[in-house]
Structure 1
Amino acid sequence: MAEGKYYSDFEAKKIICEIGKRMYNRGYVAANDGNISVKCGPNIIWCTPTGVSKGFMTPDMLVKMDLKGNVIYGKNKPSSEVKMHLRVYDENPKVNSVVHAHPPVATSFAIAGIQLDKAVLPEAVVLLGTVPVAHYATPGTEEVPDSVAPYCRDYNAVLLANHGALTWGSDAIEAYHRMESLEHYAQILMYTGKIINQSNELSCNQVSELIKIREKLGIESGGIPPCRIDEEKDVKEESNSIKDEAIKAIVAKVTEQVIKKLNL
């Protein structure tokens, strides 16, 4: 990335094409699905065109726009879902890149209307937090940006009901890596919740430590997944604490008596 906050035009187009190939090769998109955008100025973005496979894009296919949706440069039309990207930028000025894809497992959770909020994977707690489900909206319409707007500031990703997933970040790599993390997290929840049918969820103390790590990394959003109180462990810890205090009291009492006898 260029010095400062934004990508140059050259860098923006290069990284969009690279991310498009990665998404296509990983099976996060099929045919002409998905879209990517990157800021190259306070009010300017480069984005993917409509009707083009993300695995076969070239820089000359991309479209330059302002944040009001006006095309500045490009021979192709922008994706109809760029409205969703523009809304994310408007809601959260810290965002410099947005990625939309249809990763199979995460999209399956979106279709089922199940948010990703199990505290089972430390990396997911730190990098993603909770991933909510936005209500269903017809693709390409104003309903879509309206559906994601409530989540843009407090979360790092959102599932689109019966549609796919949307991630964003301070740069294109972070936005894309969150998409990878999202699908990885969804796969683990599928295996542990529906195939193995068992998981040891992290305790509240463990989640609290992970949130501290997240804060040290400068990640201010994501939400906190519900944690599980390990009652048996807490009872044991409380019991041990009581025993320790009792032992300390006994030792103090004996010590006091010994000192009195020695003084005699």
Structure 2
Amino acid sequence: MTAEIHFIGRVRTQFDTLEACPKQGNEGGKEAWVEVAPEFSEGLDGIVVGQHLDLFTWLHQADRKAMSVHPRGDTSRPKRGVFTTRSPARPNPVGVHTVTVLKVEPNRLKVEPLEALDKTPLIDIKKTPTPANLITPVDIRREDIEEITHVCRSAWSRRLFSGFNGNASIRLGDACLMTATGSAKGCLEPKDFVLVDIASGAILAGSKPSSEGEMHLEIYRNQPKAQAILHTHPPKILALGVLVQPEEMLQLPIFETELIGSRMTTAPAFAPGTTELAQATGKAAMTHDAVYMEKHGLVCWADTLGHALSLSEELEHLASIHVDVVG
């Protein structure tokens, strides 16, 4: 029995020679483009940024006659049958590469990490299997990423963020889409997002969550009305926290104190990223839609991320008035 394989496209990578290619994607693989021929481009429908995929390639320069190899090409190790290794040398040199989608275009995908030789033929693309103990990820829509990107840039321009601090998320059914660790909020990219199961905290797609990711999850678990969360480091609120006791913050003889200031409560000064801070903030969010975390920052939840930003701005404005009064 014989079979015929139809190449559906090719990969465009940064590796021009076999010597330059890493052994595995997690050992030096880089960003690459997966180009799909027009007649197969419809098959990309439904693929989203942050999703994990398995790419199947035809390693066209591999030795198809070798039946035994030195594992990982290390001649100091005894030879073994090719079927006990992941060597590209084998009768049918099919490569399997697990990658994360960074960008989706009509007939191509930007992915990482990929270790294949440039122009390697593409055989197939499959969704990476989800472990049985995880919830199947919901789709990450481009609009969801654009919403978080827009709000974070607005917050950054208002000095509520600086550099890599702070984070944001939106609820998507039983999961939430949040900014990943090490992401600059003023210039987010599609790779700066991660989809997390709210109940278990398991990563469903994307990279590593922010160090404050557990705080977002605790708020969603405790406050079913929360559809979006914004955690910022507002300079005036932080300054006010240095000048007065937490119970005195935003206590001013103006109408905004009752209208806006009363919406904020305080969580104790636990270290950032700790379980204690996440749990304390989640509990406080049950009764207030804004929580000042002593010595750390502000977190607001709302029905939309834009509304969470608006509340953050109003509280920061009230704090600036209070700082002027105290000063």
The TM-score with structure 1 as length reference comes to: 0.65
Post-superposition offset of 1:22: 1.2
- Distance in 1 (alpha carbons) for counterparts of 2:265 and 2:205: 35
Structure-2 residue corresponding to 1:17: 149
Structure-2 residue corresponding to 1:148: 281
- Distance in 2 (alpha carbons) for counterparts of 1:132 and 1:39: 22
- Distance in 1 (alpha carbons) for counterparts of 2:255 and 2:306: 20
Post-superposition offset of 1:185: 1.0
- Distance in 1 (alpha carbons) for counterparts of 2:277 and 2:292: 12
Post-superposition offset of 1:166: 0.9
Structure-1 residue corresponding to 2:233: 102
**Offset from partner CA, 1:137-168 (integer Å, 9 cap, x none):** 11111011122133212112111111111111
The 5 A counterparts of 1:58-69 are 58-67=189-198, 68-69=200-201
Match of 1:71 among 178, 203, 219: 203
Structure-2 residue corresponding to 1:50: 181
The 3-state SS of whatever aligns with 2:277 is helix
- Distance in 2 (alpha carbons) for counterparts of 1:156 and 1:128: 11
The 3-state SS of whatever aligns with 2:225 is coil
Q: Which has the higher helix share?
A: 1
- Distance in 2 (alpha carbons) for counterparts of 1:90 and 1:121: 34
Aligned AA for 2:157? N
**Offset from partner CA, 1:99-136 (integer Å, 9 cap, x none):** 11111011123345424342544345334524222111
The 3-state SS of whatever aligns with 2:195 is strand
Post-superposition offset of 1:84: 0.5
8 Å CA contact 1:38, 1:45 repeated in 2: yes
Post-superposition offset of 1:37: 0.5
How many residue pairs get aligned? The number is 187
The 5 A counterparts of 1:235-246 are none
Structure-2 residue corresponding to 1:139: 272
Kindly indicate whether residue 295 of structure 2 is the aligned counterpart of residue 162 of structure 1. yes
8 Å CA contact 1:110, 1:164 repeated in 2: no
- Distance in 2 (alpha carbons) for counterparts of 1:121 and 1:48: 36
The 5 A counterparts of 1:119-198 are 119-123=252-256, 125-191=258-324, 193-195=325-327
- Distance in 1 (alpha carbons) for counterparts of 2:257 and 2:308: 14
- Distance in 1 (alpha carbons) for counterparts of 2:151 and 2:253: 28
Structure 1 residue runs without a partner (length 5+): 1-6, 196-264
Could you tell me the percent identity over the aligned residues? 27
Post-superposition offset of 1:21: 0.7
Aligned AA for 2:170? V
Q: Which has the higher strand share?
A: 2
Match of 1:118 among 247, 251, 259: 251
- Distance in 2 (alpha carbons) for counterparts of 1:51 and 1:155: 28
8 Å CA contact 2:215, 2:278 repeated in 1: yes
- Distance in 1 (alpha carbons) for counterparts of 2:186 and 2:155: 7
Structure-1 residue corresponding to 2:159: 27
Q: 1:10 to 1:143 in 2, by over 3 A?
A: same
- Distance in 2 (alpha carbons) for counterparts of 1:140 and 1:184: 26
**Offset from partner CA, 1:57-89 (integer Å, 9 cap, x none):** 023321111102111111x21101011011111
8 Å CA contact 1:69, 1:86 repeated in 2: yes
**Offset from partner CA, 1:6-40 (integer Å, 9 cap, x none):** x9732221111111111211111221000000012
8 Å CA contact 1:121, 1:185 repeated in 2: no
Deviates more, 1:76-85 or 1:105-114: 105-114
The 3-state SS of whatever aligns with 1:69 is coil
- Distance in 1 (alpha carbons) for counterparts of 2:306 and 2:220: 16
The 3-state SS of whatever aligns with 1:27 is coil
Give RMSD over aligned pairs.
2.1
The TM-score with structure 2 as length reference comes to: 0.53
8 Å CA contact 1:33, 1:53 repeated in 2: yes
- Distance in 2 (alpha carbons) for counterparts of 1:71 and 1:150: 23
